[in-house]
Structures are given as structure tokens and as C-alpha cells.
Amino acid sequence: MNQSNLRVLAVSSGKGGVGKTTIVANLAYALSKRGKKVLVVDTDLGLNNIDILFGLTSKKHIGHVLSGKSNVEDIILHGPEGIHILPAGNGLQELTQLEPEKKMALMDELDRISGDYDFLIFDTSAGISSNVTFFCSVAQEIFLIATTEPTSLTDVYALMKVLHTKHSQKHFRLIINSVSSEREAQGVYQQLTKVADGFLKGVYVEYLGYILRDPNVSKAIRQQKVFLKIYPFSKFSVCMNELAEKIIKEKPKLISGESNQSYFWRSAFRDK
């Protein structure tokens, strides 16, 4: 596959508990259902989540790649609809603040296999750690998940501020999760853009979509099942499918001057 068709998405939130990993899992599922080859990378490197959400277990994780004990192919898990998952470690504090050499070793491995995929999705940890900002910076597109909670908006803004002031990021794509209506989602978007326009000059916050609140989401999480698979006709699923369709219809972003080389290197040491 031509690597220029690859789309690299970082999904982050600033705050934990806003449904970020649930959205990643279901978006990956929706994209795969539509024939796209998807690799989800759990970049919350010290606390694995995405594999658990899919009901998968693994004896190996990204830490084994970084130590040189395994290559990426050895640790990839196979999820529903052909989704590939690169699992993180569990309770490994040394992975939460990677040194630049370790980050580049992982980028080299991902670069090596990336031609096999249409989408690479980084599911970042919460907060504004160097790992979070690194994976957001090397992605082509930054998806931010927010809810109606004031703390969620505060933390999303804080993440945008760090990515803009320290890593020169200017474009953020916002998904509003767990709302009762699109009107409520638009209200959240307007609150955030008002603050961003006032204090982050040159930043563009794009409204990408919204996900309606559904009480069955927690049931799916407890069952370790993809929500779209067990509740395909729910309002949540309709929103997720609309989001996937919108993303698929977009043209991949080409990075100026880098169409013939790995996108990973463009900002590899930006957070040193």
C-alpha cells in the first residue's frame, strides 16, 4: 500500500473518564467494518486499556519491543473485524516517561509496518505528560474528546495550550461525548472555541462530531465487548457510524515536503 494513504490519528482528552478508549475501540471497529485496515496503539504505555476493552490478553507488550526482546509483529493482537492492537504494559512505571531514544525506537518499528494499514490510531493516556504530547505531535490529526463536564473542558483546553505553545500544533478536531443532543454538543464546542479564540492565537478547533449518551455503554465495557457489535442500532452506534463515514470520506492529509518519507520524523524530538 502507498504509505501516503496512511492516516495517523492521536486520540486524547486531557482528562480521564470521558470515554476516550471506548470511542477509539468503536471507531476502529467501524472503520474495519468498512474495509479499512486499522492498527490501534495503546500509548498509555504503563497502564494497558484497549486490549482489555476488546476482551483480549497478551503476555507481551510494547515494553518488550522497547527492550529489544520482541518486534512489533510478535506482540500484535487480533481483535474483532480484523482490528490489530498493539498493547501497552500493565503497572510499568518506567514506560510512562520514555526517553527520546526509546520513542524513536518505537517509531522505527511502527514506520516499518505502517504500510500495511490505512489507519494508525494512538490511544493516549490522560493528562499532559511528555508521552501524551509526543504521540499527539507525531500524528497527522489530533482528535480531542470532551464531555459537558467543566473539568473536561478545562483539561482539553490545557492540553491544547501545551500542544500549541510547546509543540506548535494549531489544528484540533473535537468530538463531544455523552451528550443528550447535538444542540448540547454544539454548546460545548462553542464554549471551548470561545476560550481558545481568546487565548490561543492561530489555533483552529474543528467540530468533528458528537456521541449521544447511552446507559448500555457501561454494560458493554463490563462485558469487554465492542458496543457497536452488541448494540448495532442504538443512538450511540448511529453516531459512531456517522463519525466513521465522515472520516473515511476525507482525503488523507499530506505533510508538506514529506510525501516520500516517514511522517514520524517530522517532530520526533519536538518535546525534548
Whole-number pLDDT of residue 129? 86
The count of domains in the chain is 1
CATH number at residue 147: 3.40.50.300
Confirm whether 263 is domain-assigned. no
In a domain, 149, yes or no: yes
- Which H or E run includes 56? none
Lowest mean pLDDT among 47-61, 119-133, 204-218: 47-61
Q: Give me the amino acid identity at 145.
A: I
Q: Give pLDDT, residue 95.
A: 54
Q: What's the pLDDT band for 96 if we cut at 50, 70, 90?
A: low
Q: What is the pLDDT of residues 197-225, one digit of tens each?
A: 999 999 999 999 999 999 999 999 999 99
> Which domain range does residue 194 map to?
3-253
With a cut of 80, say whether residue 264 has pLDDT above it. Answer: no
Query: Is residue 195 in some structural domain?
Result: yes
| Cβ atoms 228, 26 nearer than 8 A | yes
Residue percentage of the chain with pLDDT more than 90: 64
pLDDT grade for 70, boundaries at 50, 70 and 90:
confident
259 in a domain, yes or no? no
Task: Give the burial class of 111: count Cβ atoms within 10 A of its Cβ; 0-12 exposed, 13-18 middle, 19 or more buried.
Answer: middle
When pLDDT is cut at 50, 70 and 90, the band that residue 125 belongs to is confident
Does residue 151 surpass a pLDDT of 90? Answer: yes
Domain-embedded: residue 260: no
- Whether residue 186 is contained in a domain is answered as yes
pLDDT at 90: 61
Those residues with Cβ within 8 angstroms of residue 208's Cβ, 6 or more apart along the chain or in another chain: 143, 173, 174, 175, 243, 246
Q: How confident is the model at residue 97 (pLDDT cuts 50, 70, 90)?
A: low
- For residue 148, pLDDT over 50 is answered with yes
Give the Cα separation of 118 and 124 in Å (integer).
19
- pLDDT at residue number 34: 97
CB 192 within 8 A of CB 185: no
pLDDT at 144 over 70: yes
At 58 the pLDDT is 78
Cβ-in-10-Å burial (0-12, 13-18, 19+) of 251 comes to exposed
Residue 266 inside a domain? The answer is no
The identity of residue 222, as a single letter, is R
Asked if the structure places residue 271 within a domain, the reply is no
